[in-house]
Structure 1
Amino acid sequence: MVKRHMKYDFFDALHPRDWSRPDVHAWLLHMRDHHDMQDVQCERFPMNGKALCLMSVDMFRQRVPGGGKLLYRDFQLRLGRAMTVAV
């Protein structure tokens, strides 16, 4: 089980595509708190990391109009770092 407030390092330790639903929700809550994005609601992301990998920036924006682009960019950066480490 993932705690609500986790160390930021957790998200770098696990490949984003391997995130469970609770991991995705923990990341969303971290991003919400860290960037003061009040419109982030975990209920709008009922998915795991594999599903997040398939989302476009517009899909993030539809779920979080005020911060979807930031969420998308952060997730893509994490995905890129994980892919680089895996090579």
Structure 2
Amino acid sequence: MWDTATGRLLLQHSGHDLDVNGVAFSPDGARALTASDDGMVRVWDAVSGRELALWRSDRRVWECRFAPDDSDKVIVVDGMVYQLQLMPPT
């Protein structure tokens, strides 16, 4: 992640094996989603960069978003549209 005002790199996430197609932030800015050609959607802590959750598809994932009505639900598109409920980390 970069600081949009300065262009300075703030945090570098690693985990996807192929290109990332989509990034979304939760309404409160605390979490980020990434969707990738590797079929993975990852949920990250936006401040620490720690991975919080992972969802796998057998196809490339084109898009991901937090649902507008609930920051604990995400929308994932991989040719199909899914609405997933995020569970708190244990």
Give the TM-score, by structure 1 length: 0.33
Q: Comparing both structures, which one devotes a greater share of its residues to helix?
A: 1
Q: Which has the higher strand share?
A: 2
Of structures 1 and 2, the larger Rg is shown by: 2
TM-score (norm 2): 0.32
